[in-house]
Amino acid sequence: MLVSLIFVFAGKITKVLNTIKSISYLLHGFMMVNDGDYVAIFNSIHRVMQAEKLLKERRLPILLIPAPRTLKSDCGLALRYAASDRPQVEGVLAEEGVMPEEIYLKKGEGYVRI
């Protein structure tokens, strides 16, 4: 009985921790687009997830974020990367045929389409 209770309790703790992690991830994404960063918008969740996987396999420093509200995104997600990583990130995406629908540069309070 006690072992069952421990497993149930551990399962509930895991769910709470995953929820906290998800909220933290969303907040982190909203606050992590700095001036000079690039934001890549894709036309489907499948493509953005495929792009994320390819870029992470190559250990490129990208972050999957919720698409900023001011940018139109069909899937609601985007990839954020620094200007210094732009050639490598976009090179891999072009090489693999997974180019984003649109790319934006964060400038001040807004975004400029590239």
Specify the pTM: 0.72
28 vs 68: which has the higher pLDDT: 68
Q: How far is CA 9 from CA 2, 3, 15, 17, 32, in A?
A: 10, 10, 10, 12, 34
pLDDT, tens only, 78-95? 999 999 999 999 999 999
Q: Hey, what CATH topology would domain 32-113 get?
A: Alpha-Beta Plaits (3.30.70)
Q: Where in the chain are the domains?
A: 32-113
